């Protein structure tokens, strides 16, 4: 039997840690709260394979996140390193800034309307547009949706929460995948967006694969996509399968959208809750960036 008490686990663990830095939380798991042990757990000289119990929780066995063997995972991960480098991201700063401006414009539309707004929904649309444009060469344009598509944000969060069940009950995920899409969408309409996203990935993969085969690009992209990078890499052919690429990009966009959106959501809440810190932040920005045109490099140099 699996019993999940939502949002209580972290508080229970913190209470246990008062009595010690290492706590056994299951027959095969230890929970460690010891910064000095970090270099032991994440060692460069003694790499470890992944724990299967955690690796399979998202149902993407061909994606890097699910690869157990360290050497195999490193092979796949090496291809992604340049893609997520700071240099590559900074080169796309104009595109990201344009989406930031669109987000601010959309938020302004809600001023003085009395209409409640869940910021996490807006932030999730923003992060999805950024990461989808970056990885696929074409954004989803979710920021253009009037209501910021609450189902999309809720679905991404629900997948993360559902992993608590999928880890111990692997057949549950297999069952959900085997069910007709129309049936799965009945209790969770947001899964329809997920299915559309998966279909879009497959169409783009087939386009890039065909372009590689014929040597002729059928579609123009503003910048190289994740798929182009993989196709141009020295990965063996078996690591460049359409299904493997589809699973990889689903993980990248799903994780990149959901986790990144959470950070500004929490930051906004705590700034609004702490007026002194909000005032200090606003004063620094007004003083050092009155024209709202600094770059990411400039922001990194701001004192506060």
Yes or no: say if 106 and 122 are a contact pair by the CB < 8 Å rule: yes
Q: Which domain holds residue 95?
A: 82-273
Asked whether residue 127 carries a pLDDT value surpassing 70, the answer given is yes
Give domain status of residue 161, yes or no.
Answer: yes
Give domain status of residue 118, yes or no.
Answer: yes
Q: Which residue has the higher pLDDT, 285 or 192?
A: 285
pLDDT band at 240 (very low <50, low <70, confident <90, very high): confident
| Out of 15-19, 65-69, 173-177, 243-247, least confident range | 15-19
Give domain status of residue 130, yes or no.
Answer: yes
Give domain status of residue 288, yes or no.
Answer: no
CATH number at residue 172: 1.10.630.10
Q: Which residue has the higher pLDDT, 107 or 183?
A: 107
Give domain status of residue 14, yes or no.
Answer: no
Q: Which residue has the higher pLDDT, 124 or 246?
A: 124
Give domain status of residue 115, yes or no.
Answer: yes
Asked whether residue 74 carries a pLDDT value surpassing 80, the answer given is yes
Give domain status of residue 98, yes or no.
Answer: yes
Asked whether residue 229 carries a pLDDT value surpassing 50, the answer given is yes
> How much is the pTM?
0.82
Q: Please tell me the distance from the alpha carbon of residue 165 to that of residue 171, in angstroms, as a whole number.
A: 10
Give domain status of residue 46, yes or no.
Answer: no
- Report the SS3 class of residue 203: helix
Sequence-distant (≥ 6) Cβ neighbours of residue 21 within 8 angstroms: 32, 33, 34, 37
Q: How many CB atoms lie within 10 A of CB 277?
A: 13
pLDDT tens readout for residues 199-208: 777 777 777 6
Where are the extended beta strands (E) located within the chain? 22-26, 29-32
| Residue 113: both structure tokens together | 């309307």
Closest-CA residue to 142 (of 186, 81, 193): 193
- CA neighbours within 13 Å on the CB side: how many for 222? 12
Number of domains making up the chain: 1
């Amino acid at each position: 039997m699996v019993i999940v008490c939502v949002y209580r686990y972290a508080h229970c663990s913190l209470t246990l840690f008062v009595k010690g830095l290492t706590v056994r939380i299951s027959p095969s798991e230890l929970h460690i709260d010891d910064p000095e042990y970090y270099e032991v757990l994440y060692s460069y000289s003694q790499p470890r394979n992944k724990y299967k119990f955690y690796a399979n929780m998202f149902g993407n066995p061909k994606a890097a996140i699910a690869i157990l063997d360290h050497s195999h995972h490193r092979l796949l991960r090496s291809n992604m390193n340049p893609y997520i480098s700071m240099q590559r991201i900074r080169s796309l700063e104009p595109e990201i800034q344009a989406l930031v401006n669109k987000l601010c414009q959309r938020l302004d539309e809600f001023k003085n309307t009395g209409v409640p707004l869940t910021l996490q929904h807006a932030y999730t649309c923003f992060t999805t547009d950024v990461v989808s444009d970056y990885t696929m060469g074409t954004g989803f344009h979710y920021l253009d949706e009037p209501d910021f598509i609450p189902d999309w944000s809720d679905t991404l969060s629900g997948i993360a929460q559902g992993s608590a069940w999928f880890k111990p009950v692997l057949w549950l995920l297999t069952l959900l995948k085997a069910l007709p899409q129309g049936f799965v969408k009945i209790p969770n309409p947001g899964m329809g967006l997920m299915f559309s996203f998966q279909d879009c990935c497959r169409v783009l993969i087939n386009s890039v694969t065909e372009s590689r085969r014929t040597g002729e690009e059928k579609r123009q992209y503003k910048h190289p996509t994740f798929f182009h990078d993989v196709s141009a890499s020295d990965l063996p052919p078996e690591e460049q399968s359409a299904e493997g690429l589809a699973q990889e990009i689903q993980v990248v966009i799903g994780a990149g959208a959901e986790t990144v959106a959470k950070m500004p959501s929490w930051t906004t809440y705590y700034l609004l809750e702490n007026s002194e810190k909000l005032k200090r932040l606003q004063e620094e920005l007004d003083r050092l960036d009155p024209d709202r045109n600094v770059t990411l490099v400039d922001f990194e140099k701001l004192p506060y």
